[in-house]
Amino acid sequence: MVVSSSVPSLWEAHGSQIYYIPYQFGSLIGPEKLWNDIVAHRFFTDYWSHSIWVAIFYSLGVHIVQRAMVNRKAWDLKQPLILWNAALAIFSLAGTIRMGEEFFHVIRTRPLLDSISYSVDPHQPAAFWAFCFAASKIFELGDTVFVLLRKKPLIFLHWYHHAVVLVYVWHSASELVAGGRWFIFMNYGVHSIMYAYYAITAAGIRLPRVLSMVITTLQTTQMLIGVAISFIVLYYKLQGKLMQQSFENLSICFSIYASFAVLFMNFFNKSYLSKKEEKTKTQ
């Protein structure tokens, strides 16, 4: 592997200037060999706004299907659900490993601030997995399909999270936001655990309740880190430092991470703490 230079490199395409930290992976695996940074960047630059329409139709579709299922029998989707969650768990694990290589290299060899100032190398597998991450937000909408067709409780946090993350991630992909290095790595990591948990429980295997608490805690922590990074980036941008993230993207980032942090903490409180208190009172 090539050690990154002391000065960030500049990548230009379609009128965009992206400052990144060079890092060459030791080898390319499978589809990584097909990666084309120019095509991918043009796609998100030209079409990121389409994610807004997808999110709108998704949100409307959620309520339409929910009403349509009121007088219908729940579908038995045990096997498809196991396969779905297992596939997403494997995909997320692969993303965690590949993004992790670049992430930890930057953390070890560069000032910590650089990790949220300059993007991943657009020519390398980290960018490929960032692209896959953005694309996966479309596929993850399928989670909601399983919830609706199986007539399981659908909370606001679930569909709101899917809708707004899709828009934010696609907007970030058009800029190759530097903080995405953190967001993507954390999300891949949490999802690799979360979907593995879902796959196992979908198979009818009961796991300790503490595991679901750990997953929710990890999700909440991820959101709080996102809020913290937003504040740090804003501070340095106002100081005039080059930060590979626009004010527009930063405002979206802060808004959704702050809302997620509140919603996840509320979910944790209602799901675990409140129930524990009620159980104690009844004893």
HEC-encoded secondary structure of 2-64: ECCCCCCEEEEECCEEEEECCCECCCCCHHHHHCCHHHHHHHHHHHCCHHHHHHHHHHHHHHH
With beta carbons less than 8 A apart as the criterion, state whether 88 and 190 touch: no
* CA neighbor of 244 nearest in space, from 14, 11, 18: 18
Question: Has 158 been annotated as catalytic?
Answer: no
**Residue 52: closest CA among 184, 172, 166:** 166
Residue 220 CA to residue 266 CA, distance in Å, equals 10
Which sign, positive or negative, has the C-alpha torsion 102, 126, 244, 133? negative
**Would you tell me the crossing angle of helices 142-149 and 156-175 to the nearest 10 degrees?**
170
Distance between CA atoms of 136 and 162, rounded to whole angstroms? 11
For residue 119, give the 3-state DSSP assignment: strand
Residue pair 133/51 in contact by the 8 Å Cβ criterion? no
Catalytic residue among 14, 41, 105, 161: 161
For residue 21 the two structure tokens come to 């930290």
So which residues are the catalytic ones? 161
